[in-house]
Structure 1
Amino acid sequence: MWKSPGFLAVLVAVAAAFGSFSLLLPVVPLAVINDGGSSALAGATTGVFMAATVLTQIFTPMALRRIGYNPVMVFSAFMLGVPAIGYIIGMEPLPVLVVSALRGIGFGALTVAESALVAELVPVRFLGKASGMLGVFIGLSQMIFLPVGLAIGDRWGFDYVYILGAVIALVAAVMCLRIPAIKAAPKQQPSKYDYPEETKAPPVPAWKLVLIPALAVATISMSFGAVSSFLPAAVIQVDPVLGAVFSGLILSLTGGAAMVFRYLAGVIADRRGVPGATMIPAQALALLGVGVIALTIHQGWSVWLLVLGAALFGGGFGMVQNEALLSMFFRLPRSRVSEASAVWNISYDAGTGLGSFFLGLVAAAFAYQGAFAAGAAVIAVGILLTGADRLVGRHRLTEYNNTRARLRQIPVARRAVQTVRSVRGRVATRPVPVDDLLTRPTEKPGWKDPEQDTPGT
C-alpha cells in the first residue's frame, strides 16, 4: 500500500485540506452570531456550503476524466481554504454566503477526487486498507483542528482562524502537485464479450448496483446528523455537571471510533478478498448505539451510557462508510470509480443534511429521545435493505468490463469454480487471481488482458 506512487502525498494533502475545513466548520456560524447576525444566517452558511458541495460532486467525475486528478485536487484544495480570507471583510449576508458557496465547491471536488484517486493508485488487494487509512488521516485531522479553530478564535479572534485556514489549504494544494498526473478512465461501452455468453443478458445499470450501498450510507449518516446536532445538548440535559465536560468531547469520541473501525473494516475486506462481510453487523452496532442513547435520555440514566452509545454508533458508522465505498468499487468497472466516489459522497452529505433537518423536526415535537429513536428506525430500514440486497446479489451479474464477469467466460475459470464447488460444497469466498487461472487466454475472441488490478475483482 505504502509503495503505491503518490499515495502518501494524497494522504497528507487530504489531511491538510480537511484541517482547513475543520478549522472553519464551527467558527463561521459562531462568528456570524457574535457579529450580530441571526441564527438563520448562521445556519445558512453551512446550508449553502453543503448545497454547493453536493452540486459540485455531481460534475466532478466529468472533470476528473477531462482534466485529471492533479489539477482538480489542486483547485479543490485552493478553493476550500483561500476564499475564507473573504470572511475578514465582514459577516454581512451576501459576502458570507458567497464565500461559503465558493468553499463548498472546493470541498465537493475534493471529497470525490480523493476517494476515487486512492482506488486508481492502490492495487485492489490493498484497497480496503488504503481506504481505511484515508479515513484515519481525515479523522485525526478533524479531531485536532475542530477544537483548535474554536480555541484560536476565542483567544486571538476569528480573523486569525480564517488566515490559518487559508495557509493550511495552500499546503494541501502544494502537496497535490506531487500526485501522479493521471486522468480518470474514460467510460466504456459494453460489448457482447463483456458478460457471460450463457446469460445473453444486458449489463446491469450502474445505479442498481450502487443503490443499496448508497442507501446504507445515507440512512446511517441521517442518524449522524442527529448525533452531531443534538447529542452534546442531550448530554448536558441528562447530567448538567458531567455533561458540561463530556459535551465537547463526545463528538471527538464518535469520530475516533469511526476512524478506528473504518480501518478495521478495510483490513477485513482485504483479507477476505471481497467487501461486505461486516456491513450488516456494523449497521446493527450503530443501531445499538443510537438505541442506547435514546433509552438513556428517556430514562435519565448515567451520562456514561451516552458515552458508550456514542462509541458504539461511531464504530458502526465508520465500518459502514468503508464497506459501502468498497462495495461500489467492487461492483463497478475501473472506468466508473469516480462515479462510485461521487455517489458515496453525495449519499453521505445529503444524508447528514436531511437527518439534521428532519430529525430536528422530530426533536422539536418529541424531544431528543424521539429524534434518536427515529434515527434508530431509519438505520433498521437500512439493515433490511442491505439484507435483501445480499440475497438478490447471489444471482447478480455486475456491470460490463468487470473482472469477475470476465472470469466466467474463461473455460479454465469455470472448471476451477466447479472444482471448488465439488470439494468445498460452495464457491470460495476469496476471488482467485486472474494470473493464477490463465496467463493469457485466447479461447474467447475479443478478450483483453487487464493491465493492472482493477476494482471489480
Structure 2
Amino acid sequence: MVALGRAAAELTAEEVDAVTSPWEARGLIPALVAISAAFGAWSLLLPVVPTAVIDAGGSESLAGMSTGVFMFSTVATQVFVPRLLRKYGYRRVILVASVLLSLPALGYIAGMSAPLVLGIGVIRGIGFGALSVAESATIAQLVPWRLLGRTTGIFGVAVGAVQMAALPAGLGLAGIVGYGPVYVLAAVIGAVGMAACLWIPAIQQPEAEGEHGSGLQVPVWRLVAVPMLALTFVTTAYGAVTTFLPAGVRELDPASGAVFAGVLLAVVNFAAMLARYFAGAMLDRRGVPGTVMIPFQISAALGILATAAVLYTEASVWWLVPASLLYGAGFGAVQNESLTQLFYRLPHSKASEASAMWNIAFDAGTGLGSTIYGLMLAGMSMAPMFGIAGAVIAVGVVVTVADRVLGRHRVSEVNNLSVRLRSVQAPRFYRRGGR
C-alpha cells in the first residue's frame, strides 16, 4: 500500500529533471510491465488468429482481414487518444484499454466465423490502440529529454523480448494444447497490464509552449511525414511476415514448418530488440535521431527481398534465418529512430500527439500489409508478394534520402525539442566518460 500511495502521487517536472539514469525514473518499471503485457497479449495472438481461421476452413482473405480490422480499429482509436489522455489521465485510459484488449480474446473460443472474428478484432483493436499511444507517451514523460534515447531503447528491449517469446509461443502452444488455452493465456497476459497501471504515477501535463513565438511557423505534417512514412513502409512487411510467413514456411517444410515459423518470428523480434536499443544509444551519443535510419531501412528491404528469393527458389528454410535477422534489425531500428524523431521534432507539450502519430504509422502499416498482401495472394504466390513488400520498403529509403538532402535547406520549427536538447546536452567526451 505504501508503494501504491507513492505511485499515486503526481510526478512533477522537477522530479523528472533530477533523474540521471532511466532506471531512477519513478514509474519506469510498472510502465515496462504494462507495455510488455499489452504487446504480449497482442503478439501471442497475432499469428495464431489468422492460422486458426485457415485451419477452421476460412479463406486467406479472412485470415488477412482478421489482422487488418484489428489494426484498422487500432489506428482509428489512436487519433482520439491524446484528447482522452488530457481529459482522463494516463492510468484511467490504460486501465480501460487493458480490459478491452484482454477479455474479448476469450470470445475466439466460440468459433472462427467471420462476424465473430472481425467483431472481436475491432474491440481488441480499440483497446490496443489506446494502450499503445498512452504507454508510448508515458516514456516521454517519465525521464528528461536527454535520456530519451536510452529510455526508448529500454522499452524497445522489453517489447522485443516479449514479442520474441510470445510470437512463437502462441503457435507452439496451439499445436500442443489447441487454440482455446492460447486465447485464455492472451486474456490473462492482458489483464496483467490492468494491475501494473496502478503503479504508474499520475503525470503532470506539460504546459503548451510558445513554439511559434518567433513568427516562424511550419505545418506539423512537414515535420512528421517522413518518419511516419519510413515506419509505415517497414511495418507493411511486418504485417505480411506475421500473417503469412508461417503458412509459407509450412509449404517449404510440411513436417516442421509450423515450429520453424515460430522460431523465425522470434529471430525477427530478437534482432529488432537489439537494434532498437542500439538506435537509442546512438541518439544519446550523437544528440540527433535518425542518423542510422537509412542503413537499417536498407537492411529491412534486403531481408524481405531475401525471404522472397528463398520462397521462389524453394531453398532450405534455414536461409530464412539470415533474412529474418536482416529484416528484424531494420524493423527495430526504424521503430526507435522514427519515434525519437517525432519526439525530437515536436514540442514537449505535444508528446501524446507524437506518440499517436508513431503508433498510427506502425499499426496502419501492419494492418495495410496483412490486408493488401492477403488480397494479393488470391492472384499470386508468396514469393512475388514478399518481393513487392521489399520494394515498398525500398521506396521508403528513397523518401528518407530525399528528406535528408532537402532538409539541409528547410526551415524548421523553433523552440522545439531540437533546440532544447542542444541546450541541455553535455559535451560528447563527458557523456562517454559517464557511460
Q: TM over 0.5: same fold? A: yes
SS of match in other structure, 2:166: helix
**Residues 36-115 of structure 1 aligned to structure 2 (within 5 Å):** 41-88=62-109, 91=112, 93-115=114-136
TM-score (norm 2): 0.84
* Structure 1 stretches of 4+ moved >6 Å: none
- Choose the corresponding residue for 2:36, options 3, 15, 25: 15
C-alpha displacement at 1:39, in angstroms?
5.6
Q: 1:168 to 1:289 in 2, by over 3 A?
A: closer
What letter is aligned with 2:158? F
Give the structure 1 partner of residue 291 of structure 2: 277
Q: 1:34 to 1:378 in 2, by over 3 A?
A: closer
Residue 176 (structure 1) aligned with residue 190 (structure 2):
no
- Choose the corresponding residue for 2:367, options 342, 353, 363: 353
Relative to its length, the structure with more helix (as a share) is 2
For the 8 Å contact 2:150–2:284, the answer to whether it is kept is: yes
C-alpha displacement at 1:159, in angstroms?
4.0
C-alpha displacement at 1:128, in angstroms?
1.2
What letter is aligned with 2:199? R
Q: Work out the CA distance in 1 between the residues paired with 2:58 and 2:393.
A: 36
What letter is aligned with 1:433? V
Q: Work out the CA distance in 1 between the residues paired with 2:138 and 2:153.
A: 14
Q: Work out the CA distance in 2 between the residues paired with 1:93 and 1:290.
A: 30
For the 8 Å contact 1:68–1:183, the answer to whether it is kept is: no
**Residues 133-212 of structure 1 aligned to structure 2 (within 5 Å):** 133-182=154-203, 184-185=205-206, 187-188=208-209, 190-191=211-212, 194-195=213-214, 202-212=216-226
Q: Work out the CA distance in 2 between the residues paired with 1:404 and 1:19.
A: 33
What letter is aligned with 2:94? M
Residue 378 (structure 1) aligned with residue 409 (structure 2):
no
TM-score (norm 1): 0.80
Q: What do you get for the CA RMSD once the two structures are aligned? A: 2.8
Q: Work out the CA distance in 2 between the residues paired with 1:351 and 1:403.
A: 26
What letter is aligned with 2:358? W
What letter is aligned with 2:286? R
Give the structure 2 partner of residue 126 of structure 1: 147
Structure with greater contact order relative to length (CA < 8 Å, sep ≥ 6): 2
Residue 433 (structure 1) aligned with residue 424 (structure 2):
yes
| Sequence identity (%) | 49
- Name stretches of at least 5 consecutive residues in structure 2 with no aligned partner: 1-21, 428-435
Give the structure 1 partner of residue 431 of structure 2: none
For the 8 Å contact 1:184–1:338, the answer to whether it is kept is: no
Q: 1:222 to 1:39 in 2, by over 3 A?
A: closer
C-alpha displacement at 1:29, in angstroms?
4.3
For the 8 Å contact 2:37–2:193, the answer to whether it is kept is: yes
- Name stretches of at least 5 consecutive residues in structure 1 with no aligned partner: 196-200, 408-429, 437-457
**Residues 241-256 of structure 1 aligned to structure 2 (within 5 Å):** 243=257, 246-256=260-270
Residue 332 (structure 1) aligned with residue 323 (structure 2):
no
Aligned length: 406
Kindly name which structure, 1 or 2, has the bigger radius of gyration based on alpha carbons: 1
What letter is aligned with 2:337? E
